[in-house]
Amino acid sequence: MKMPLRFPWLIPALLPLAMVSPALGDDAEATATAVFGGGCFWCVEEAFDKVEGVVATTSGFSGGDVENPTYEQVVAGGTGHAEVVKVEYEPEQVDYATLLHVFWRNIDPFAVDRQFCDRGEAYRSAIFYGSEAERELAESTRDELAERFERDIATEIAAFEAFYPAEEYHQGYYLKNPVRYQYYKAACGRERRLEEVWGAEAGGLSQP
């Protein structure tokens, strides 16, 4: 798997891309990983690439029961997987709580088995935690949002089991195909819905 050209200096530090636990890595002290599902993984990549301290994002699939699924299998339904992004980050620069802050403000937390114009189990929002500390933080922030909005939060919170990278053409799609990507993003109503839910917090780049 090639890294997007925006981070050429990270190529020597690539982690294995299949079945990698968020708690594991080639240099666990230097970087950590988190796995989030927020609908179309192209858009989730773009959101996390803007976060200082994030060094790499990889689109893929988690949460299902089929090994090495293809994109076509996942979006057709039946594999149980969600489109996700594996976020590699430097804990000294950004912590997991901040990543959660960004995650929530880039999804519609009330949508069941969909995000924006994309529908089906593959597009459900999800947090796949790699430790008890991550689970507690994820559940705490979910409960805070439920209280804030006085509504149930549909986002799945589940233990991480496996990550399977999507096909190469999906990686860094928003950079490789900017015109098509922006057309899709606008037509899907993603930014409009995020502003409806989050107002000035949409995107989550302000400090939590």
Q: Mind telling me the catalytic residues? A: 40
Residue showing tokens 């773009």: 46
Which amino acid is present at 205?
A: L
| 62 DSSP β-pair partners | 82
The residues facing 118 across adjacent strands are 115
Contact indicator for 61, 82 with CB cutoff of 8 Å: yes
Distance of alpha carbon 105 from alpha carbon 31, whole angstroms: 23
- The contacts of residue 138 (CB under 8 Å, 6+ apart) are 100, 127, 129, 157
Please give the DSSP secondary-structure letter assigned to residue 73: H
Task: At 91, list the tokens.
Answer: 């804990």
| Amino acid type, 93 | Q
Which of 111, 155, 109 has the alpha carbon at shortest distance from 129? 155
Distance, CA of 58 to CA of 76 (rounded, Å): 21
- Residue among 87, 89, 91, 59 nearest 74 (CA): 59
- Residue 186 identity: A
Q: For residue 15, what are its two tokens?
A: 């982690």
